[in-house]
Structure 1
Amino acid sequence: MPPLNPRRRQRGLSLVEAMVGITVGLIVVAGATLLVTAQITEHRRLMMETQVQQDLRAAGDLVLTELRRAGTWEQANNSVWAPGAAAPASNPYSNLTPAAAGDSTTITYQVTAAGRGVSPAEDNIVSAAEERSFFLSGTTLYYRLTADADVAAQPLTDPNSLKITDFKVKLLVQSVPLDSFCNVPCVAGTCPVQEVRRIVVSITGESVSKPVVVRNVEVSTRLRNDRIVGSCA
């Protein structure tokens, strides 16, 4: 004979168990969502930092590439002194702005337009077409191919994606006295001096879409064409 009060077996979940399970599941999903969101945000920030860094590096490399040409002179052989020869000529393209050690937001240099055996021939006179410059205007870095104000400067950075907040050029000058090479003692203050010049360029920029992403690039190069100041008697 079966028992009077048989114990029934429980099937499925109770309401309390279902609510606890749903709560735990929601907590796990919320944690996973926060983790994925943080990963996506971090990845986007790293991509923006990489883009800003690459844009600044590209602009800095272009500035250095052009600055290495500063003082290029077709008749550089005329500046070499030889015993019994006339006084050597000075390089008309050796001027640089800034002309002395210090910081500047603009750098201007000169490059001969004449090529070896190519017209026009070297006239040793600096023209507007032989002057180059880099400068910051607003939040864009520009490159000017000529001193002619009617010719528009070329932007080196895209203002829609990168905002240049600082552009500094520092000129470092090391003077090497050359008075020992004079046959006749020279007058103090007029003796020849070789200026070994190094340019340090610092560019700071920030992302337009995410201003908190700020990066700085500093590059430097030695000018290939040294400047000679003064002369022997």
Structure 2
Amino acid sequence: MIPSRRLATAAGVCYLVTHVASIGGLALYGPVLGNPDFVVGPGPDGRVLLGALFEVVLALAVVGTAIALFPVVRRYGEGAAFGYLGLRTLEAAVIAVGIVSLLAMVTLRQNQGAGTDPAAARTVGRALLAVHDWTFLLGPNFVLGANTVLVAHLLYRSGLVPRFIAVLGLVGGPLIFASAIAVLLGLYGQLSAWGKLAAVPVFAWELALAFRLIFRGFRTPAAAGPLPVGGDPVPVPVGLPQV
């Protein structure tokens, strides 16, 4: 495979991994999320630790999507490409903070002694859960919405993927960002019906992009190509497969 084809496959696989890892981590965290009594009970430590591992994989895959796409999309807007790389890295960092908060709950539960005050332990547990909840809003919603708009814009103007896929990102990014604002202001819960509905377009965007990149790779842009800020025509990438 030519280098750009390998990058397309790597990006697509990373996008799929983010979905599998995020869903798996959320399922495994089920007994802990919303349950501050976890820190004073027997606790399913194994499930929480495995969920943390899933989210570590998630964070790495999030950065992986940006690393794989960056060398290709930077030809069509270097500033936006660097912005996408930086925001994806920030998203992964926020996810990592959420992981640490739940691992801290496991440590707190394991270190319960005879003299431990259960009420105080529950208070700390609630604080750690709050940290995780806020990181879940900031990373996979606010930051995700912003970086989705950047890369979808680059893919739209370059023609590297079919336009309908890029449009899904241009719609889904602002929508999930706006939904995050609504959650922040207390209009509805993040996991409410409205919150889940707002996440559908960006979910569809990432899946459509992943399958496109894995099975078809990038399209060859039009010969003229878009114009960067400097005004010189962008050269057509050599060796990209034509659809």
TM bin, normalised by shorter chain, reads under 0.3
What TM-score results when the alignment is normalised by the length of structure 1?
A: 0.28
Structure with larger Rg = 1
| Higher RCO (C-alpha under 8 Å, 6+ residues apart) | 2
* Structure that is richer in strand per residue: 1
- Structure 2-normalised TM-score? 0.27
